[in-house]
Amino acid sequence: MFPKGPRFEPLKCPSLLAHNNYISPISSPVPDVPGPNSYNIPQDSALDNYKRGAFLEKTDRFMKDKQPALPAPSTKSSSGPPASSKVPPTQPAIERYNALQKKVYDLEKVHLEGKRAHQVELERLKQELSAAHKTTAESAERYEKQKKQNIALDTRIQEMKKTSLSDQSEIKELRHKTRLLELEKDKISSKQPDIIELKKSLSALEAKRKDELKDRDRRIDDLEKLLQSEKKKRELAEGKIHESKRLFEEETRSIRANTLQLEVLVKEAQAEAQTTKERLCEMEHEAADREEALVQCLEQHCSLLNTVAEQYGNLVSQSVASTKHQRLQQDYDALQLRQFRLERKLANSEGQVVELAHLIRQIKSENSLLNELVSNALVDISALAAFEYSPLIRDDLDVWSQLNIDDIRTTILEQSIVEAEANADMQALLSAYYRTQNDELQATSSTLLKEYTDLQNLAEQRTYDLSSALASHEAIAARLESIQKERTEHDDKIKSATSAVDDLTATVALLETQLAESQEEVHKTKSQHALLLKKEKDAVTRLTSTVQKNRVAEDVLRAEIEQLTTELADAEQYQDAFYALHAEVEKLVTRNQIAEEEAERISKFNAEILGHNNPAQRIMYVDRIRRELAEAKHKIAMLSREQENVVAQNDDLQNELDMYKSIQVPLEKKTRTNITRVGRPPLVNLGNSLNSSLPVTHVSNASKNLSVSKEPIMPAPQVPEKPPQTPSKSRTPTTKPTKSTPLALKVYLVAYNVISTLGWAYVLTLTLIHLFNIDGRSDTVQAPRGKSAMSVLSRFTSSMNLPKALRFFASNTVQSRLPSHLQPIYRRSTTAFSRVGPQTAFVQTFAVLEIIHVLLGWVRSPLQTTVMQVSSRLFLVWGIAEQFPEVRSNPLYASMILAWSATEVIRYSFYAFNLLGKNPYVLLWLRYTTFYVLYPIGASSEAFLIYATLPASSPIPGWQSWLQGMWKATDYVRGILFLIWWPGLYVMYTYMISQRRKVIGKAAPKAIKTN
């Protein structure tokens, strides 16, 4: 019937686009209204856009499938202007629109004022409802007490029934006996003659009885006589007892005197034993000292002997005595001088020998020359002899040759003589040299023999000293044995003395026990007689009191039974009426549900029709305002009903209290209790109880957000509750109570929150101690090398074009610009990881249990939110701080730990108090106020720590980034997380501000938030 499409174009205001859920009639600008039959079809569909507000901006009117973007059908002809052409609004239309807008604003203002008044009334009714809950709790307790009393009365009734049955059986038996006795009486009356005879026999029997009585009296007299004799014997026995007591006392006195003497002796023996012990201790100390001294001497002797043996071996192998060494040194010096002299002589003799050898060689060479000459001469002679000369010539030659031969022979003889003399001189020199060598060797051998004899004498002396030391050690050992024997003898004496003392004390104790037993026997004999008399009297009084009590109890029980039966009969009527009312209420609920569904369907259809039949397209959603007013009226009616019930219960309770305090109330109407304990319900469950008593669909948006919503970063409280149910289409009130928490689970969750609070408190205190150097050890902690916070901020600010006023962090001299009292704190913040890093990692890892709690259903927190928070913290602890050393020396790590620890201490303590049923306002205020400071500090520190791990190069691949270091995939992930961190902080910050307004109770925002 109508084309599909939105009523308006998208708004030009970016704030409305960003915050689509909040619409304010003042801040929203006037939209440009297109002409009729011009539509823009959006891509997304919305089924419940008719709930968005009083204006029809950016909404789809239908829930059917979207048709393609085609021009809407027009009432004009096809040759007319196109649908997209806009008709400029006239001035009267704008004025009319502004007037309507003012009217709507006034209506909304009136509506908000009514809402505020209703909210105040609702708070008052909530307080009254809490008081009513108190009264209901008290009445429930009273009911439980009455139940217990009824159970006890039932048991008593059963017992009394049993006793009454036994009494009735006894009464029947007694009646039967009386009847038997009456029958016997009748029989006896029928037997009168027999009775006469019996009387006669009785008289005879009486005579006999008298005789017997006389005999008995006689026997009694005899027994009295015997009793007197026994009394006399008893008196004698008592006298003997007194004498024995006197003797016993004398013996005890003598025993006591003996014990005193023995104690004196024991004390003397103890003193002697003490003195002997002291002497023994002194002797032991002396013996120990002597033994230690002897042992030390023996050890010294042993070490000395070892050193002597070693030195003796060394002396035998290497050295001699000092005197001998000196003497040998002197001899060595003398021998060295002598050796020098002999060497000089030897050198001289060697020089002479060399000269002689040269002479001999020269002589030998000359002799060889001469021999050659001789041989040549002989050859010449033989040659001349071979010639045949004349006899004259031959005679001349013979004479000349003979003369030459003689000369040669003489020269040869002379040379042989010279050689013989030279050989004789050389032999003399050699003999002298060997003689001197022999003398030197004899001298050295004689000195070595003397040294050997001296060393033998020294070894014999050392062996004698060793034997004497061993003999002294044996004597000391024998003396020690004798001292030990004396000590054992003294110990035996002390033991015998202590055993004697123990025996004496045992005998004294036995005598005292005997005396006490005898006194106890006397007291027992006296007390037994008194006890017997008291028992008889008590038995008589007890029997009479029990009979009276049983009668009174029977009367009371009969009255109570009758009262209970009447009350049960009355209650049955109320039960039938209750069941009938319950059935009627169920029928009415189903009818109401069907009517509400039909009304909702009709309102949707009506909105569609009205929206598309209006030519000016300025229809406002007054239907929603009417429906909210109807809901508010319904809610007010329900609350007034509950208020009436609470007032009635309060009146009943006041009446009961007045009955407690009043004196004029009769006893049968006064309740049978002395004290009534009024239990206050915990404040943390007040909202849940209110929400459970109200209808689901009529709960305000603030209470819904408080009970269902969750903070995006901070996890839910560790309170196991039933998960929130989604509101159904029906508007029936749900009075089903929430599921109670098991005690063991509650104890575990309280313990978990307490342990987490203590862990984060320990981290916080340790960080503060380190930063302010309270223990004096913070300055000694060395910081791991890495990037500082100022370097990170300077790198971050250098990549941005900041004004001069904001370039404070761009320099590396921030520490020098800080005040003097802040510089040590800044310097210590660089070493915070070395002090609190492992503790923070383990305490934060302990938070993994929160995810397990959500998975097991113990906690009502959203799983996604809890996993995101815990994983982000673990990523910063294990993935950033533990993996990158440059983060550990960053001062931002200290600020992050401070923000974390302060937030977690407040949060976990808040949850622990909630579990215990308490809700301190101080913790509530801190939880929803400290985030103003802690969230920006913690989130910015986390983001800049992630930024500190990024490479210094550009993330865009290029030759510069290749030179400075390319980015890895993990670097890109950390960069994306750094960019995501800031919008996440904004969302979290604005969400916490809205939560603070709702929880602490400031004015609610004017805009209406819808999901």
Using a 10 angstrom Cβ sphere, with 0-12 exposed, 13-18 middle and 19 or more buried, the burial of residue 944 is buried
Residue 438 to residues 249, 347, 430, 431, 441: CA-CA distances in angstroms? Answer: 117, 17, 12, 11, 5
Q: What is the four-CA torsion angle of 697, 698, 701, 707, rounded to 10 degrees?
A: -70
The pLDDT value recorded for residue 88 is 53
* Distance between first and last Cα of the chain: 30
**697 three-class SS:** coil
Tokens 């203002």 -> residue = 109
Give me the pLDDT at residue 32, please: 52
More reliable by pLDDT, 462 or 694: 462
Decide if 309 contacts 466 (C-beta within 8 A).
no
pLDDT in tens, 7-66: 544 444 433 333 334 333 334 444 455 555 444 444 444 445 444 444 444 444 444 444
Higher local confidence (pLDDT), 202 or 513: 513
**pLDDT at residue 52, as a whole number:** 47
pLDDT at 132 over 60: yes
Tokens of 486: 């004396």
Distance CA 900, CA 836 (A): 13
Q: Is the pLDDT of residue 769 over 70?
A: yes
pLDDT at 492: 84
pLDDT for residue 321? 63
Which pLDDT value is given to residue 962? Answer: 60
Question: Which tens digits make up the pLDDT trace of 333-347?
Answer: 888 787 787 777 777
- Predicted local confidence at residue 906, as pLDDT: 93
Nearest Cα to Cα of residue 6 among 31, 53, 39, 50: 39
Q: What integer pLDDT is reported at residue 656 of this predicted model?
A: 77
Burial letters 273-308, b for 16+ CB under 10 A, else e: beebeeebeebeeebeebbeebeebbeebeebbeeb
Average pLDDT over residues 321-334: 77
Q: How many CB atoms lie within 10 A of CB 209?
A: 12
| Residues 682-741 pLDDT 10s | 443 333 333 333 333 333 333 333 333 333 333 333 333 333 333 333 333 333 444 556
pLDDT of residue 62: 43
pLDDT value of position 73: 45
Residue 214 has pLDDT above 60, yes or no: yes
Six token digits for residue 815 = 């520490």
DSSP 749-763: HHHHHHHHHHHHHHH
Residue 636: pLDDT over 80: yes
Non-local CB neighbours of 679 within 8 Å, separated by 6+ positions? 134, 137, 138, 141
Asked about 452 being catalytic, the answer comes back as no
Q: Which of 119-123, 229-233, 431-435 has the lowest mean pLDDT?
A: 431-435
How far apart, in Å, are the Cα atoms of 909 and each of 95, 620, 766, 927, 936?
Answer: 58, 49, 19, 10, 22
* pLDDT value of position 319: 61
- Give the mean model confidence (pLDDT) for residues 998-1003: 66
Q: Which of 711, 928, 942, 947 is catalytic?
A: 942
pLDDT value of residue 972: 86
pLDDT band at 784 (very low <50, low <70, confident <90, very high): low
Instruction: Work out the percent of the chain whose per-residue pLDDT is above 70.
Output: 72
Mean pLDDT in the chain? 73
Query: Does the pLDDT of residue 74 top 50, yes or no?
Result: no
CA angle 171, 173, 177 (to 5 degrees): 115
The pLDDT confidence band at residue 397, using thresholds 50, 70 and 90, is: low
Query: Which three-class secondary structure state does DSSP give residue 766?
Result: helix
DSSP annotation of 804 reads: G
Q: What is the pLDDT of residues 946-957, one digit of tens each?
A: 988 888 777 777
What is the mean pLDDT of the segment spanning 643-660?
Answer: 82
The pLDDT, as a whole number, for residue 720 is: 35
- The answer to whether the beta carbons of residues 889 and 751 sit under 8 Å apart is no
- Distance between CA atoms of 835 and 764, rounded to whole angstroms? 12
DSSP secondary structure, 698-761, as one string: TS-HHHHHHHH---SSSPPPS---PPPPPP-S---B--PPPPPPPHHHHHHHHHHHHHHHHHHH
**Residue 361 near residue 423 (C-beta atoms within 8 A):** no
State what percent of residues in the chain have pLDDT above 90: 7
**What confidence category does residue 285 fall into, taking pLDDT thresholds of 50, 70 and 90?**
confident
**pLDDT of amino acid 58:** 44
Structural domain spans, the chain: 191-319, 323-611, 744-950
Secondary structure (3-state) at 29: coil
Assign 963 a pLDDT band (cuts: 50, 70, 90): low
Better pLDDT: 838 or 575: 838
Distance CA 864, CA 866 (A): 6
pLDDT recorded at residue 54: 42
374 and 361 Cβ atoms separated by less than 8 Å: no
Q: How confident is the model at residue 798 (pLDDT cuts 50, 70, 90)?
A: low
Active-site position among 389, 935, 972, 986: 935
| Range of lowest pLDDT (22-26, 97-101, 998-1002) | 22-26
Place 561 in a pLDDT band, splitting at 50, 70 and 90. confident
**Residues 262, 974: Cα–Cα separation, whole Å:** 93
* Residue 942 annotated as catalytic: yes
Q: Which of 59-73, 354-368, 653-667, 874-888 ranks highest by mean pLDDT?
A: 874-888
Of 183-197, 501-515, 563-577, give the lowest mean pLDDT range: 183-197
Confidence check: pLDDT of 806 > 60:
no
What is the pLDDT averaged over residues 472-479? Answer: 79
